[in-house]
Structures are given as C-alpha cells and as structure tokens.
Amino acid sequence: MAKKLSKVPVVIVGMGWAGGIIASELTKAGIKVVGLERGKERDMSDYSMVHDELRFQHREELMQDLSKETITHRNNLKMRALPMRSYGTFIVGEGLGGAGSHWNGQTYRFLPYDFEIRSLTEKRYGKNKIKSDYPIQDWGITYDDMEPYYDTFEKMAGISGETVELYGKRSNPYPTGPMIKTPVLAEFEQAAKKLGYKPYMIPSANLSENYKNPDGISRSACQYCAYCENFGCEYGAKADPVVTVIPVAKETGNLDLRTYSNVTRIVNDGRKATGVIYVDTFTGEEFEQPAEVVVLASYVFNNVRLLLNSKLGTPYDPKTKNGVIGKNYCYQVSSGYSSLYYNDREFNIYGGAGALGIEIPDFAGDNFDHSDVNFLHGAGIRTTQYGNRPIANNNSPIGTPSWGAEFKKQSIKYANSILQVKSQGASMPHTQNYLDLDPTYKDVYGMPLMRMTYDYTAQDRELVKYMAKVTRSIAKKMGPDHIDTVAEQGDFNVNTDTNTHNTGGVIMGTDPNDSAVNTYLQMWDAENVFVAGSSAFPHNSSFNPTGTLGAFSYRAAEGIVKYLKKGGSLV
C-alpha cells in the first residue's frame, strides 16, 4: 500500500521547462508546490566535466534510462509494435531540468498561421485543400493572444535574436542581440540574399551577451564551446530550468522538490484527480501525494501514458476517430538537405553553439503560395554551426564506404571542410498516427509502455522533396566543390531518425470532442488536472518547440492560479 502523505495545493509531475516555469510562477505567487522528478538533482557545477562527447552524447548521460521505461513503435496498425531498446532517435531527458538541460537552445515562436491553420488555409485555398484524413485544427487561441506569454518566456530565458518581418508581430525586441554571425553563416547569408530570401539569425537561448532577467537571475555570455545538444552548459549561458526558473522557485521556500520520485498513476474518479502515486526509485517504496491540482509536465510520451494508465480522458481510436488522448501525435521532417564539400577551404567548425545558425523565413508556414503543391505549411531552411564533434561527425560524399582506408581518408579530409544547408519541416497530424498503451510491453513498475503508431505521410514526403530543392539551390550559390542532396523521405525508422521534437497526444482546442485540454492546458474531463508541454500542440510547426512550450507554460501557470481561487472551467 502506498504511504499517504499530507495534502498540498499543487503537485507537479516532471521538473523540466514546463514544470519548472509553473513551479516558479506558482511559488512566487505564494502557493505551496511539490515538484516530483524521477531523475537526479542537478546544478551548474555538475556540468564541469561536460566536454565529453562519449559520455553525454553517445552514452546519453542526461537521458532517460531505457531499462526502466521506453516506448514501443510500429509504422502502421498492421504491424506489431516493438520496444525501442536503445537510443537511436528521440533522446528523452531525465533529471532536474529535463530536456531543458540537454537542448540546443533554438527558441522560436510559432507563426500566426500555426494557431489558426485550418481557418487560414481554407480561407486562402478553399475547403478542399485539407484532406479528410488530416485532422488539422485551429488551436483555439491566436498568436496575438499568445504574444505576451512568448515575451515573458523570452525575457526569463534572455533569448538572443533579431526581429523577422515575415513572422508574427513582436511587442518588444529580443532581450539580447543575435549571436555572432560567423564566416560560415555569412556564406549562407550571401547565397540566400542572392536568391532574394531574407536570412535571419536563429533565436538562441545561448546568451549572446551577459544578461540579468526579470527574476534577478544573472547569466554570462556563450563561449561557443560546441557542447550544447546532449550536454548541460558549464557557464549557465544556455537557458536551462536548472539555472533559471528552478532556483527562483527554491528561493521562495514554497517548493518541495523531490527527486528520484517516479509518478506511476494519477489518483482520480474520472471527473477529478485527488493526487498522484509515485515510487521512490531507489527503495521501490510507494507514496500517495494528495493535491488540489495535479500538473502533468513530463515529456510528451509520459504525459500521454500517465493519462492512459490512470484511465483519465477518452483514448483516441484510429478506427472510429473518436476519443482524444493520444490523438494528433506529430513529429518533424528533416530529411531534405544538402551537404557541401570544399576541397581547398577549412572552416572553424569545431567551435559553435547549439543555437548558432542562420535561416530563411521564406518557406515557413504559409509564407509562400501552396496552390500548386500537395502539402501545407513548410520548413525552415538553415545552416547551423553546433560544433562538429568527432565521433558524431564523419561526413564524406555519398558513395564513400563507411569504413576502411577510403572512409578514413575522406572523413578526415572533409572534417573541417563540410557545411550543410538543412531543412526542418512542419508535421501535420494524420488519423492513423497516434499514441496508445502497448498491449504487451511494460515498464519496471509493471505499467504498460506507450505505443507509438507513426509513419511519415504523403504530405511529409512532398514537403521534403520540395524543400530539398530549395536547400540545393542555396548550396549551389555557396559554391562548394561538391554537393550531395538528400531529397527522399524514407519510412519512419525508430532507430535512425534524429529529432526529439515530438508533439501532440493531449492537444488543446475549444471543443471537448476533438481536444483534451483548453488553452490554459486544463483538462476538459478533469478540471483540476493541467497537462503542460508540447503534448498540447494540435500539430507541429517547422520550428523547435521549446519557445511555444514555454509560452503555454506561463499561460497554464496563470490558469492554475485562477483555478485555485475560483475553481471550475477556465473558459
């Protein structure tokens, strides 16, 4: 039997960006919060040995321990789903800060088009443009409504960037200026400008300058050390919950943070939650933490899984298309890209930062005419300079063997002489792509794993082909000696695809029949449960999701404060 603890106003499951922001806002407002985190506690000093590619990137030090829990995957309903036994694709964070510790720091806003995607698409192209098996929905809130929350998130994190004309209007400039435009990025810039595009520096959570945020947190500027993605920042230059919102929450004295605490169920009667059950991951002891409000703020997959395992909300059924939990799971498409090989030039690409990059807005959202193409939305076309770490980066022209004398010769020759023009494309929901519980596989606590049924859609494949051509045209203008372009989107492969921008499964909207939460991320079916994170996105844009996740976390926090005062539905 679980040991029952005394009741608290709010319990938060997962202490990454969503949980950290909500904890910070609530505790500042004087509300007592219990924060449950399954992984270890961390602070900045823990990152001093972080320049270790093997330990952090290839042995996934900051990621979830898959021996305890993973996902299962199948490409379609006819296949048997099998567990992802080791990391190949999604790297799912664990420990204080969650994915917010190991991210790259690319921090965009979604477009006005994203929030009203169905209305605006139908308005411009007619009712038939969106095919019936793509459940594309308006989000129930507009960009203008979201703008102040984006602004708050960007000020907290100190986002560095420059205003982009083709994107939504900003009430304020970015709190810090753009990162350094290196010669590598200037190559892309010149080529893109020659083609009439409007390149801009990628907005970055790696500070371009020293910065003090409105909470009084001071952080220093990025040193371009090249260890962002998969790594924590030893300078605190990268915005991370561990160096921003969590210390603020702790400072109030209102946060009771419990690490090594893995939540397995939400206690509920189908209409309301009374708390959560969690396990001490060391001793196996079970606890029940009663609370007035339960906030799910773990990763996309676990948010969905906790609801399903707790029998809260109606599971989505791909046959009848009824139900909402697990619906509209989306990913991102990044298979269209060009690699540029230079025979006589070397670049300082051993250095860089996770959000050091340049991009064009011209092919994002509905910024170009979709009348004659078989896809919606678009992609960011970009060149980044993350810092090419040597185990992960052994590029050579297509056709080079993957080992042996020729491999060695070519991969070393081009170690500092390869650039890429990449695309990151939006992902539209499909009725047959969804999340549910696996009928066979379980985690170490005996709870069913989450099953992902997902493959790329016709829309994705068309988008990739189109964007690959754009990357090639820019690449040509950059004048390398050799270009390889990849233009085909293969089947989704859980072992090789490399993007952790998963979204959906507990999506927001205005109607309980096609969404699970309202725009405060409050569940329709249980008014004292809030489900924060990118699980709330009805589709995925072409941008990295954290900026939008952060903005909605501020909105959810505002909703929770209101709910604690008045109760009932917030809309």
Partner 1 sequence: MSDNEKSQIEKRGSTRRTFLKNSGLAVGGLILGGAVGSIFDGNSDSDVKTEQKNQTQGNNPNEALMFFYPEEYQTTAAAAERIFPKDETGPGALELNAAIYIDHQLNSGWGVNEKDYKLGPYYKPEPTQGEQVKLYRKDLFRLGLKELNAYSNKNYQKKFTDLDATGQDEVLAAFEKGEASSLSGVSSSAFFQLLRTLTIEGVYADPLYGGNKEMLGWQMRKYPGSRMGYTKEIQSKDFVKLDPNSLQSHMKH
User: Could you list the active site residues?
Assistant: 501
251-to-30, 216, 255, 560, 561 alpha-carbon distances in Å: 12, 11, 8, 20, 19
- Distance in angstroms (rounded) separating the CA atoms of residues 508 and 324: 10
CB of 14 to partner 1, least distance (A): 20
Alpha helices in 103-252 (DSSP H): 112-115, 117-125, 143-157, 183-194, 245-251
Does 194 help bind partner 1 (rule: CB under 8 A)?
A: no
Instruction: Return the number of the residue (346 or 511) whose C-beta is nearest partner 1.
Output: 346
Q: Tell me which residue has tokens 């939008």.
A: 548
> What is the DSSP pairing of strand 529-531 with strand 273-280?
unpaired
Does 111 help bind partner 1 (rule: CB under 8 A)?
A: no
Sort 194 into a burial class: Cβ within 10 Å, 0-12 / 13-18 / 19+: exposed
For the chain, helix (H) and strand (E) counts, in that order, are: 12, 22
Does 488 help bind partner 1 (rule: CB under 8 A)?
A: no
Contact with partner 1 (CB under 8 A) among 352, 357, 504, 545: 352
Contact with partner 1 (CB under 8 A) among 54, 77, 398, 571: 54
- Distance in angstroms (rounded) separating the CA atoms of residues 500 and 534: 11
CB of 462 to partner 1, least distance (A): 20
Contact with partner 1 (CB under 8 A) among 5, 9, 29, 58: 58
Instruction: Return the number of the residue (348 or 374) whose C-beta is nearest partner 1.
Output: 348
Does 282 help bind partner 1 (rule: CB under 8 A)?
A: no
Contact with partner 1 (CB under 8 A) among 24, 70, 244, 261: 70
Contact with partner 1 (CB under 8 A) among 4, 7, 77, 79: 79
What are 212's strand-pairing partners? 218
Tell me the number of residues near partner 1 by CB under 8 A: 67
Does 88 help bind partner 1 (rule: CB under 8 A)?
A: yes
Closest by CA position to 101, among listed 135, 71, 60, 138:
60
CB of 182 to partner 1, least distance (A): 5
What three-state secondary structure class fits 464?
helix
- Distance in angstroms (rounded) separating the CA atoms of residues 134 and 139: 15
515 CA to centre of own chain: 20
Does 73 help bind partner 1 (rule: CB under 8 A)?
A: yes
Instruction: Return the number of the residue (79 or 398) whose C-beta is nearest partner 1.
Output: 79
Sort 128 into a burial class: Cβ within 10 Å, 0-12 / 13-18 / 19+: exposed
Does 53 help bind partner 1 (rule: CB under 8 A)?
A: yes
Does residue 191 contact residue 358 with C-beta atoms inside 8 Å?
no
Does residue 330 contact residue 45 with C-beta atoms inside 8 Å?
no
- Distance in angstroms (rounded) separating the CA atoms of residues 391 and 256: 40
Does 66 help bind partner 1 (rule: CB under 8 A)?
A: yes
Of 220-228, 295-303, 315-323, 327-335, which part binds partner 1 (CB under 8 A)?
A: 220-228
Does 48 help bind partner 1 (rule: CB under 8 A)?
A: yes
Instruction: Return the number of the residue (47 or 149) whose C-beta is nearest partner 1.
Output: 47
Instruction: Return the number of the residue (262 or 485) whose C-beta is nearest partner 1.
Output: 262
Instruction: Count other Cβ atoms within 10 Å, centred on residue 320.
Output: 7
Contact with partner 1 (CB under 8 A) among 150, 224, 530, 543: 224
560-561-562-566 Cα dihedral, nearest 10 degrees: 100
Instruction: Return the number of the residue (197 or 456) whose C-beta is nearest partner 1.
Output: 456
Does 397 help bind partner 1 (rule: CB under 8 A)?
A: no
Sort 13 into a burial class: Cβ within 10 Å, 0-12 / 13-18 / 19+: buried
CB of 219 to partner 1, least distance (A): 15
Does 408 help bind partner 1 (rule: CB under 8 A)?
A: yes
What three-state secondary structure class fits 248?
helix
CB of 104 to partner 1, least distance (A): 16
- Distance in angstroms (rounded) separating the CA atoms of residues 244 and 256: 17
Does 367 help bind partner 1 (rule: CB under 8 A)?
A: no
Does residue 551 contact residue 149 with C-beta atoms inside 8 Å?
yes
Does 252 help bind partner 1 (rule: CB under 8 A)?
A: no
Of 126-134, 144-152, 399-407, 500-508, which part binds partner 1 (CB under 8 A)?
A: 399-407
CB of 180 to partner 1, least distance (A): 6
Instruction: Return the number of the residue (388 or 519) whose C-beta is nearest partner 1.
Output: 388
Does 492 help bind partner 1 (rule: CB under 8 A)?
A: yes
- Distance in angstroms (rounded) separating the CA atoms of residues 158 and 203: 10
Closest by CA position to 501, among listed 448, 529, 541, 450:
541
Of 304-312, 401-409, 431-439, 526-534, which part binds partner 1 (CB under 8 A)?
A: 401-409
Residues 435-464 touching partner 1, rule: CB under 8 A, are 440-442
Site string for partner 1, 8-27 (x = CB under 8 A): --------------------
**462 dihedral zone (left: phi>0; alpha: psi -120 to 50; beta):** alpha
What are the strands, taking DSSP E only, across 158-215? 200-201, 211-212
Contact with partner 1 (CB under 8 A) among 350, 431, 461, 477: 350
Instruction: Return the number of the residue (252 or 394) whose C-beta is nearest partner 1.
Output: 394
What are 4's strand-pairing partners? 288
Does 182 help bind partner 1 (rule: CB under 8 A)?
A: yes
Does 495 help bind partner 1 (rule: CB under 8 A)?
A: yes
- Distance in angstroms (rounded) separating the CA atoms of residues 84 and 90: 10
Contact with partner 1 (CB under 8 A) among 117, 225, 325, 478: 225
CB of 253 to partner 1, least distance (A): 32
151 CA to centre of own chain: 18
What are the residues binding partner 1 (CB under 8 A)?
A: 48-49, 51-54, 58-60, 65-67, 69-70, 73-75, 79-80, 82-86, 88, 180, 182-184, 222-227, 346-348, 350-352, 356, 385, 387, 390-391, 394, 402-405, 407-409, 411-413, 415-416, 440-442, 491-495
